[in-house]
Amino acid sequence: MNDDLDRQNNNIIANWARKHSLWVLAYGTGCGAIEVPPTMTSRYDAERFGITGMATPRQADVLLITGYLAIKTLKRVIRTYEQMQAPKYVIGFGSCTINGGMYWDSYNTIKRLDDYIPVDIFINGCMPRPEGVIDGFIKLQERIARGQAKGWQHYQENLDWYRANQKKVIKNWTMPDYNW
Amino acid sequence: MDSKLIKEQEIKRNINNAFRSAEVTVVRRRRISVRFRAGILPAFISYLKEYMGFVHLVMISCVDWLEDNQFELVYHLWSYEEHIHAMIKIRLDRDNAQIKSLSSLWPHAETYEREIHEMFGVDFEGHPGLTDLILEDWSDLPPMRRDFDTRAFVAETFEWRKGREDAQDVRQTISARYGETIPEFKKDK
């Protein structure tokens, strides 16, 4: 199984195609969602890098976690992430996803995003400007081309660890258990 | 000064004629504050709504007076005819916080009452559904109470990333986890 995943990940031609067509799920969790429209529209025009929006998780490649994540939202994010088709990439956006940011002592926002879902790229800043966002996307494209953006593979292999972390903060677990 | 507060003084007289126990203070122009007891609050508020023209419930807020062992509910009302903002302040016992719901007078009072119920634990009698509004599956103390220790809760529930507590560079721990080098930036000249 793992050899199969590795082979998928290291396919040079597939990676070249993937990196030039990143469909970002239009799902904003925090205040960072306000930086996405200028990134996508005419001034910064992320579409020249092949980055564009998608309305449904089943056809999206990139999940942008834009800012703080409440526990209530985390449940929806996990559900969304698990619906996306592999290969899928996660960008942690803003300092809240890195160490809690300005919500470091808040009772209902998580402090470390990479404990709950695998993150391929962190963009720091509060908030990062559209230049920073585009820079993060280009870094992600480089990692995809090198076959290093394998957070989704890490998630499948360490599902128990992620599940334990997720169930620690989500008290009433009502989500389906997928079998991969 | 007094000549400008004629409207406010008249409202104060009218309220005191109907409810002698209401302590009315004129805070300033267009603003009065009323202290009242919790027992017959719906009767008092409906009097203000029907006869005094305070037809708009702006919001309900709650203050936790931990030292007095009391909650203070503040009902903000607005009169479009007189252009006066009235604050009705009710003190409740903190251990047995119970009050009648105002959802029969204003349907939108339900939302404020649900929030106060979940954030402070005040029980509203006669409310059609006191379920969670913002929080989900919360089993601890209501989080806006002052005796709820947020920092202890956070330390118990979440795990800190190293570097946060002594203001170190958190990129070190991230790069260690993912096995990559931190990019070096050119220093400013």
Question: Is residue B147 situated within a structural domain?
Answer: no
- B92 band by pLDDT with thresholds 50, 70 and 90: very high
- B159 band by pLDDT with thresholds 50, 70 and 90: confident
Cα(A32)–Cα(A119) distance, integer angstroms:
17
Residues of A in contact with B135 (CB under 8 A): 72, 108
Question: Is residue B156 situated within a structural domain?
Answer: no
pLDDT for the residue A1: 54
Mean pLDDT of B114-130: 91
Mean pLDDT of B141-165: 84
**Residue A107 is nearest to which of B150, B174, B177, comparing CB atoms?**
B150
- Which one is predicted more confidently, A11 or B44? B44
Residues of A in contact with B143 (CB under 8 A): 107-108
**Residue A171 is nearest to which of B134, B139, B160, comparing CB atoms?**
B139
Tally the residues of chain B. 189
Pairing state between β A89-93 and A62-66: parallel
Q: What is the CATH number of the domain that holds B58?
A: 3.30.460.80
Query: Where are the strands (E) in A13-168, listed by range?
Result: 22-25, 51-54, 62-66, 89-93, 121-123
pLDDT for the residue A126: 86
- B118 band by pLDDT with thresholds 50, 70 and 90: very high
Mean pLDDT of A53-73: 90
Stretch 147-166 of chain B: residues touching chain A, C-beta under 8 Å: 148, 150-151, 153-154, 157-161, 163-164
Of the candidates B78, B42, B75, the one whose C-alpha atom is nearest the C-alpha of residue B61 is B75
pLDDT for the residue A2: 66
Question: Is residue B122 situated within a structural domain?
Answer: yes
Mean pLDDT of A140-163: 89
What is the DSSP code (8-state) at residue A173? -
Tokens of A89: 């990439």
Of the candidates A32, A34, A85, A30, the one whose C-alpha atom is nearest the C-alpha of residue A56 is A85
Q: How many domains is chain B partitioned into structurally?
A: 1
Buried b / exposed e along B115-149 (16+ C-beta atoms within 10 A):
bbbbbbbbebeebeebeebebeebeeebbbbeebe
pLDDT above 90: residue B60? yes
Chain B: residue whose CA lies nearest to A150 = B178
Q: Find residue B33's DSSP bridge partners.
A: B25, B87
Given 3.40.50.970, 3.20.20.70, 2.40.50.140, 3.40.50.12280, which CATH number is that of A2-169?
3.40.50.12280
- B114 band by pLDDT with thresholds 50, 70 and 90: very high
Question: Is residue B55 situated within a structural domain?
Answer: yes
Of the listed ranges A1-5, A78-82, B49-53, B89-93, the one predicted with least confidence? A1-5
Question: Is residue B31 situated within a structural domain?
Answer: yes
CB B102 within 8 A of CB B77: no
Question: Is residue B97 situated within a structural domain?
Answer: yes
ipTM over 0.85: no
Q: What is the pTM of this model?
A: 0.81
Decide if B20 touches A, using CB distance below 8 A. no
Domain map of chain A by residue range?
A: 2-169
pLDDT above 90: residue B115? yes
- Which one is predicted more confidently, A79 or B183? A79
The CA angle B72-B76-B78, to the nearest 5 degrees, is 160
Q: Which amino acid is at A84?
A: M
Mean pLDDT score of chain A: 87
Mean pLDDT of B142-168: 82
Mean pLDDT of B147-165: 83
Tokens of A106: 């808040």
Chain B: residue whose CA lies nearest to A97 = B161
pLDDT for the residue B89: 94
Contact B161 A170 (CB under 8 A): no
Of the listed ranges A100-104, B88-92, B145-149, the one predicted with least confidence? A100-104
Question: Is residue B182 situated within a structural domain?
Answer: no
pLDDT for the residue B32: 93
Segments forming the whole domain that contains residue B116: 2-132
pLDDT above 60: residue B8? yes
Contact B158 A112 (CB under 8 A): yes
Query: In sequence order, which residues have a C-beta less than 8 Å from that of residue B116 and are 6 or more positions away?
Result: B60, B61, B62, B73, B122, B124
For A85-129, the pLDDT digits (tens) are 888 999 998 888 888 888 888 888 898 888 899 999 999 888 899
Residues of A in contact with B136 (CB under 8 A): 71-72, 75, 172
Contact A107 B154 (CB under 8 A): yes
pLDDT for the residue A179: 54
Contact A75 B136 (CB under 8 A): yes
Of the listed ranges B36-45, B121-130, B147-156, B166-175, the one predicted with least confidence? B166-175
Mean pLDDT score of chain B: 87
pLDDT above 70: residue B3? no
Contact A172 B136 (CB under 8 A): yes
- Which one is predicted more confidently, B84 or B187? B84
pLDDT for the residue B165: 65
